[in-house]
Amino acid sequence: MSTPAHRARLVLALRSAGITNTSVLSAIESVPRELFVPETFVDRAYEDTALPIGYGQTLSQPLVVATMIQALELDDRVKLFEVGTGSGYHAAILSHLCRRVYTIERHKPLLAEAQGRFDILELSNVTAMAGDGMKGWPEQSPFDRISVTAAGAEPPQSLLDQLKIGGVMVMPVGGESRLQQLMRYRRTEEGYDSEVIMDVRFVPLLPGVASETGT
């Protein structure tokens, strides 16, 4: 089991790796990462590495999580949509930095586990549902920010369309067999500006809701 020292060491490592936003570092320090990993990996919860969470999904390494969240340029007025709840770790950190977090997951068992963790941590500003993240969450749009934790060959237009003018979306782009890049898209009056943040490796963004077997 972790101690505050485990979290403090992780924050120091992230700061040394270039994470400068103190609000992001504080949010990461406040979330018990061991709660979001399978029991067999609890002793590795604070290593800077990705860990499997079942159904072919992974919990991204802390540096990638921190980089994504820092790139979103968050504040406590933001309404954010997350595609890919996974274990719920990313959303738990976001909940400390945003006004509202809406998160969607195509694997119902993962979503149920994540919801249980949100309940334990009393994260009342997180709303989660099972669904097709590629379609977004039209009923709650537009969003100030969108965070996509799976890679696509290109950003889905349906997600870009659900961003407010001036809004930001961060998403890994690229196929499974080639280099992926974490991209930041900013919606403008004329369209979208984009920039590369870092090279990454994510599971693919897939349509629909997964079957009980995970496909």
Examine the residue annotation and report whether 60 is marked as an active-site residue of this protein: yes
Which tokens in the block code for residue 43? 């002793």
Catalytic residue among 16, 26, 30, 60: 60
Just list the catalytic residues: 60
